[in-house]
Structure 1
Amino acid sequence: MQATDRLTLAAVLSLFLAGFLLAPLTSDLSYLGPAWFSLSTLGVTTALLRRARLGSGVVLTTQLLIAAVLSVGLSLTMPGTGLPWHQHYVGLWQGGVAHMQASGSPMDPNDGVTLIFATIVAGLLIVTDLLASGLGRPAWALAPTATLFLVPALTVGAGTGVMSFLLVALGYLGILVADGLNGSSRWTRGLSRDSAESVGASPVVWRAAALIGVPALVGTLVLSPFAPTLTLPGLGFGNGSGRGGPLQLTDPSLDLRRNLQQPRDQEVITYSTDAPGGLYLRLASLPQFDAKGWSNVEIRLTSGAQLPAAPGLTDVPDKEFTTRVSVRDFRSQYLPLPYAPRSFEAEGDWRYDPTSLTVVNGESRARALSNLTYTVRSINPAPDSDALDGAVAGTPLDDSVTGVIPRDLPENLIRLSERVTKDAATPADKAAAIQAYLRGGRFQYSTEPLPGSGYRALQNFLLEDRRGYCEQFATAMAMMARVAGIPSRVSVGFLPGKKDGDVWRVSIHDMHAWPELYFSNYGWVRFEPTPASVTGSAPPWTLQGSDDPEDSPTAAPTAAPSASAPADTAAPEEAPVEDLTTGEAGTTFPWARTLLGSGVVLLVLLVLAAPATIRVRRRTARLSGDQLGEEQVEAAWAEIRDTVVDHGGTWPTGSPHAIGSQIADRLDGQESAAMGQVATLVERSRYARSLGGGTDTLPTLTRDIRRGLVAPLSRRQRLLATVLPRSLFRRPGR
């Protein structure tokens, strides 16, 4: 393998790894396939171009043309609108940018985003190759992958844990190793150069790479479960207008998952109300259920601030409650409102869905909610428990979505649902039985990430681990209700929070999901399957047929707690935190944090030590005496040259005799004479028919010369030359 091939391959592998750095931004990893295909195509093309010894300008121009063709080709594989190819291509880019501006991370799948990400990764390969091979500065090749590393770090909610750092470190280490392999290859005879082409490679650099890379990889894999993510509030997607097309609605369940797993809680909403207790603040309702989970459907938004009556509610209460809400640093396209809202006053372009009464920003701006204060008037559609007990399941307007049982729903989930509700006589009793089953002692609340996705995750929650957070509890009840013949949907929003005087304070960890079931004459009714340790007691109208003591109306405060029991609403934060620790707070040593910190420090030190390690191993290989004759002479000559370069010197040009004379002038006595002897051996090696012996003392002569070159330098210069040897980063051939 030629020297240029190694650097090109290392650059390609580095970007293969770096492609994963964009994963926290999107829920769709389909961009990786096109990105890897582009990287492979560009890598092969670049290797062939550099083997042909074409100039860097020709290589760069060809790379850009191929990248452009690949990007356009990818766009042609995506569904179009009948437009010419160039308009379709531009439209995908515009749509992708608008989607990123309108979405929180991780984003929903979008063809434009896939095109943008794949093109960016391919473009960064061109930059990396230009730095490593074109400009001969492999050390600078860290910049492109570091750029991808920083993008999620500057995006709300995207993680940049130890694994992300490992991807960057391993990619950069690969480039340094490739450069080290090139430098430690065998040297051949040459008439006009001091650095000959590589025709082989010493295994010592591979051993050095293993010495550095394997501990780093193992350490990171061990420590990554303890790694927190880094979130930088105040920056990220969600600041665009999104005008000129249909609104791209984000998935609130993704925001729920991310916010509940944030290590630091923070206040995001305060509100005051004349309602008798705290209020659930709903962001959105997800009506569609399939193998991927709960999701939005296409809706038609209506302008205005006066909302219609709650769907399905026949006996509308006369009493309206007024609530004034102030949002701090929280971003969403949805306006948090108590159910059922009748009207609202909020600055900006807000529109509502008459079916779900969800209010959405008309400009698709996630930032529109930040630092917004607004007023909402709502009713409390809470039914009487005795009356609801006799209610039948209704047929909502969107029954074709909310009443559907997926055909591929696993049979064991259906059997479990039927078993839980088999003794219940009425639909309300069935719903209460499902709620009591989930709130009982069989299930544990935990925000730890769970294995699997879709139906597999639901099976794992209901039949195996029985651990999860509010999304799993809400999903399970809504699914089981549909099996029982009751239309259902999952709503996402906030728990009431904690009361502080006349104000209710809601934190980011109060984000919550709950099911809503549809009953004739009552419309959508909220249930609460998440355990009491998180939510307090269940709504009183949901307790028909429940014999679970924790669901007794007197066992705990209601879901809208009174001022006399504010402590009960703190449970959502306390339960998951205790699950993540061992022993009582303040009495155990923080092993996870200590191991994580130590692992990160170790990984950084290993990466920083890579150049020095490779340089030492290269010197050892050159002076080991394993080479024969001419190869040993060229290896010693290369070592002297790299020593001069490492310590800030300039390697002269000219014949070996001329170079030897100039270097000897910098040395004293024995070292100067040694330089003359080595120069003579180089001349014989290159120009004479035979070397004539004299190579036995080459390692000793080379060490003497190195000692003489280093002697007059300061301690700081020596340290810098050891930690960052310039010879590793010099342009090949110089």
Structure 2
Amino acid sequence: MRATDRYAIAVAFSLILASFTLGPLTEDRSFLGSSWLLTLLICGVGLLCRRTRVGSTGALLVQLVVLGTFLGLVARQLAPVDGLNVLQRTALLFHTAGEHMQSQAAPMPPDNGVIFVFIASLGVITLLTDLLVITLHKPALGLAPPLTAFLVPAIGLGTDTGLRPFLLIAAGYLAILLAEGLNGYAGWTRGLSRDSLGGSVQEQAGVVVWRAVGWVAVPAVVLTLIAGSVLPTLSVGAWGFGEGSAGSGGPLRLTDPTLDLKRNLTLPTNRVVLTYRTNKPDGQYLRMASLPAFSDAGWQNAQTSIEEGDRLPQPVGLTEPTGKDRRTSIQIRDFGSEYLPLPFVPKSFDADGRWGYDPNSLVVISSERGQNRNRATEGLDYSVVSRDVDPDAETLDAIISGDPPDSNLTTAVPDNLPANISRLTERVTSEAGSPAAKAAAIQAYLRDPNNFTYSTDPRPGSGYQALENFLFRDKQGYCEQFAASMAIMARLVGIPSRVAVGFLPGSKKGDVWTVTGRDAHAWPELYFSGYGWVRYEPTPSSQTGNAPSWTVPVDTGPEPDPSAGAAQSDPTTQSRPTANPQQSSGPVQAPATPADTGFPWRRALGLGGGALLLVALLGTPAAIRIGRRRSRLAVGGTAHGGPLPDPGDRIEAGWSEVRDTVRDLGRPWPAGSPRTIATEVGRHYDRGAKDALAALALLVERERYAAHFADAEAAATVPGLVRTIRLELLADRTLPAKIAMTVLPRSVLRRR
């Protein structure tokens, strides 16, 4: 095995182990298989290229091509958006990954952009490690690139990563150092172990290397682990990664709750999130967060001041008489968040822990500064007093939209908003007069099952692209797409808007309401003078029941509910579709395929592919042997993955070719000095073979026993000597025997 082969195997092993260190950052481990394949491709291509005239420089160029091609294929699979080239798909995936990473705490929910970034990062790390260890001959620096894969979770998680990631990186680095040791002792014997000493020096040197691993490397790792557990460490929170440490004055960093919606809606098991009791017969939406900012990246949180306390101020803009106070007691089950689920509008609450509120949105969040802030609600029992906002439909239809205190955020429409969204909004609201009538028209358009279909598997994309996909292309999505679309369309007709995130009322049994993960929901809130922020419901009735009564035009009455038996003005139970609405009830005739023409194409292709595979397998030993001979006898020669560094290596390559030729003939390779071997091999051949063997043996002894062998002219005669020897050795062989030794070369099949 060549030196570069050992390094390539060690690098691949090291990076496969390093990939596991990124696992704690995400719940989706699907990136591992693709990253392993990419690592093996990069290392394998480098190994093969360095065995040819391409050398290390050419290997690097080929590896770059492999990396770019592989990532292009991955981008095409993860971002199947029509009309985008590879660079645009890659940019889209990096963009979505950046948004996801900034707004999600680890372990992050599944995201195609994050998967792509992890695969690309591990591919680049593999390439850099290969460059340092093999091309630049700096194996000691082979720790640096894989260490970056360890530092990302070590810093970003904000918690102790444990021993496992460290041990994985350490084991990979030890593999690289072990390869260096094995390559080092290979140079001590300089060809002796292959013939004259029968391998004893090789075995003894190997024992030295493995003992070094046992007596030096293993104790070093153990002592590092012991020291790491005893010495004091720095608190990650003190570095200020968005949340700050206890007592710091930095701003709280809020996560984006919309990114959890799909994960909750597609849970394999519908776990119970919370239960609640209320003093009114109907259920209620439980709001957690409010997203007032809109840009080409979509709906987002905005920086705001958080005030301490459990008694909340008067709701912004609410002056008209509305519903009475409601008392609710809530018990959180399997759910952790920094946001406190509350009915809108909350007046006061009683909950353990430190909580603050946003005066504009009345969103209540944890004001703890520790690492567990995003689990503040877990196991919490609390009570809340709230007021139901139940506008009168006729009054709402007669008033203006109003101007909230944060109108700079809640009325802003980006200049680069696609014009087709504006044109659609104008068309939908063209016959509506008042702001409330325009809002009702937008809601009715989105809820119409003839226009849109509810689905938890919309086309991938974010920001403007997601809106256009939903409104104009596939026209399917879940609550996030419906809420986001109505909110921006409302702004286009002059109504302040924002997107709320929380839970549907759930289902009632006895006096207890049960809310599950699949009740996670998003809806728009629109601002009207006198009522402040009012809830609308554009998501289809198959998921939410009838829309609120004040959102239905006063002259049309309640909207029909296409779901079976749902007749509430506010949903109290959830009706789920049992089949895909897009499926056709009739049979679909499949297009004709080659299999329908009568000829067994699949069988023929299968047999042909199997035959080609068999031929490839049978031809592999011959291909290896021929490639090895050409490499040894090439002008300039190659060894150890690149151009020969000195004439001595070229002489050893020629001597190795003679040895393998003798073995291919089925004869044993004699023991002893090179001259003794030459005499024994040439005993039964003509003077030409004997003279060539003697000349080559003399060169081998000269280069092995010389302190510094630099006779390039002598080394240049080696290819000619070897060809002469091979011709004489093969002269008495029949054609079938020559074919047999070519197809099944013993030097490859039984190589030590």
Same fold (TM over 0.5): yes
Distance 1:10 1:542, change over 3 A: farther
Q: For residues 272-671 of structure 1, what are the structure 2 equivalents within 5 Å? A: 272-315=277-320, 319-363=324-368, 365-440=373-448, 441-544=450-553, 545-546=555-556, 549-550=559-560, 556-558=566-568, 560-562=570-572, 566=573, 569-571=574-576, 574=577, 578=580, 617=620, 620-622=623-625, 627=630, 634=653, 637=656
Distance 1:291 1:685, change over 3 A: same
Offset from partner CA, 1:159-198 (integer Å, 9 cap, x none):
xxxxxxxxxxxxx9xx99xx9xxx9xxxxxx9944899xx
2:397 partner amino acid:
D
How far, CA to CA, are the matches of 1:242 and 1:658 in structure 2?
Answer: 78
Offset from partner CA, 1:196-216 (integer Å, 9 cap, x none):
9xxxxxxxxxxxxxxxxxxxx
What TM-score do the two structures reach when normalised by structure 2? Answer: 0.54
Distance 1:120 1:327, change over 3 A: farther
Offset from partner CA, 1:55-107 (integer Å, 9 cap, x none):
xxxxxxxxxxxxxxxxxxxxxxxxxxxxxxxxxxxxxxxxxxx9899677379
Please name the residue that 1:251 is paired with.
256
How far, CA to CA, are the matches of 2:8 and 2:749 in structure 1?
Answer: 36
CA-CA distance at 1:421 after TM superposition? 1.5
**Quick check: 2:542–2:575 contact (8 Å CA) kept in 1?**
no
Stretches of structure 1 that go unaligned for 5 or more consecutive residues are: 27-42, 44-49, 51-97, 109-115, 157-171, 184-189, 197-236, 585-612, 645-651, 665-677, 711-734
**Quick check: 1:630–1:685 contact (8 Å CA) kept in 2?**
no
- Larger relative contact order (Cα-Cα within 8 Å, sequence gap ≥ 6): 1
Offset from partner CA, 1:338-395 (integer Å, 9 cap, x none):
1111111222111001110000111251121222222222121111223322232122
Distance 1:264 1:240, change over 3 A: farther
CA-CA distance at 1:439 after TM superposition? 0.6
2:400 partner amino acid:
V
**Quick check: 2:261–2:520 contact (8 Å CA) kept in 1?**
yes
**Quick check: 1:414–1:483 contact (8 Å CA) kept in 2?**
yes
Stretches of structure 2 that go unaligned for 5 or more consecutive residues are: 27-42, 44-49, 51-100, 112-117, 160-171, 195-236, 587-615, 638-651, 664-669, 682-691, 702-713, 731-737
**Quick check: 1:268–1:508 contact (8 Å CA) kept in 2?**
yes
2:540 partner amino acid:
P
How far, CA to CA, are the matches of 1:6 and 1:582 in structure 2?
Answer: 58
Offset from partner CA, 1:562-593 (integer Å, 9 cap, x none):
5xxx4xx042xx46x73799999xxxxxxxxx
Q: For residues 43-442 of structure 1, what are the structure 2 equivalents within 5 Å? A: 105=108, 192-193=190-191, 242-243=245-246, 244=248, 245-315=250-320, 319-363=324-368, 365-440=373-448, 441-442=450-451
CA-CA distance at 1:706 after TM superposition? 7.0
How far, CA to CA, are the matches of 1:505 and 1:330 in structure 2?
Answer: 13
Distance 1:242 1:638, change over 3 A: farther
**Quick check: 1:11–1:125 contact (8 Å CA) kept in 2?**
no
Distance 1:630 1:240, change over 3 A: same
How far, CA to CA, are the matches of 2:678 and 2:254 in structure 1?
Answer: 72
**Quick check: 2:346–2:385 contact (8 Å CA) kept in 1?**
yes
How far, CA to CA, are the matches of 2:299 and 2:536 in structure 1?
Answer: 17
1:358 partner amino acid:
V
SS in 2 for 1:482: helix
2:368 partner amino acid:
E
CA-CA distance at 1:541 after TM superposition? 1.3
How far, CA to CA, are the matches of 2:193 and 2:478 in structure 1?
Answer: 63
Alpha-carbon RMSD across the aligned residues, in angstroms, is 6.0
SS in 1 for 2:385: strand
Q: For residues 634-713 of structure 1, what are the structure 2 equivalents within 5 Å? A: 634=653, 637=656, 683=697, 686=700, 690-691=721-722, 693-695=724-726, 700=741, 703-704=745-746
CA-CA distance at 1:430 after TM superposition? 1.4
How far, CA to CA, are the matches of 2:289 and 2:262 in structure 1?
Answer: 15
Distance 1:194 1:300, change over 3 A: farther
SS in 1 for 2:526: strand
Offset from partner CA, 1:126-171 (integer Å, 9 cap, x none):
767677787979999998799799999x999xxxxxxxxxxxxxxx
SS in 1 for 2:498: strand
1:375 partner amino acid:
S
**Quick check: 1:25–1:107 contact (8 Å CA) kept in 2?**
no
**For the pair shown, which has the larger CA radius of gyration, 1 or 2?**
2
2:318 partner amino acid:
L
Offset from partner CA, 1:428-451 (integer Å, 9 cap, x none):
211111111111121111121424
**Quick check: 2:345–2:387 contact (8 Å CA) kept in 1?**
yes
Of all paired residues, the percent bearing the same amino acid is 42
How far, CA to CA, are the matches of 2:270 and 2:658 in structure 1?
Answer: 57
**Quick check: 1:341–1:378 contact (8 Å CA) kept in 2?**
yes
How far, CA to CA, are the matches of 1:279 and 1:392 in structure 2?
Answer: 27
How far, CA to CA, are the matches of 1:258 and 1:659 in structure 2?
Answer: 72
SS in 1 for 2:580: helix
How far, CA to CA, are the matches of 2:108 and 2:384 in structure 1?
Answer: 28
Distance 1:658 1:453, change over 3 A: farther
Q: Which moved more, 1:684-693 or 1:438-447?
A: 684-693
**Quick check: 1:301–1:351 contact (8 Å CA) kept in 2?**
yes
**Quick check: 2:657–2:722 contact (8 Å CA) kept in 1?**
no
How far, CA to CA, are the matches of 2:544 and 2:150 in structure 1?
Answer: 42
**Quick check: 1:242–1:363 contact (8 Å CA) kept in 2?**
no
How far, CA to CA, are the matches of 1:614 and 1:300 in structure 2?
Answer: 69
Aligned residues: 506
What TM-score do the two structures reach when normalised by structure 1? Answer: 0.55
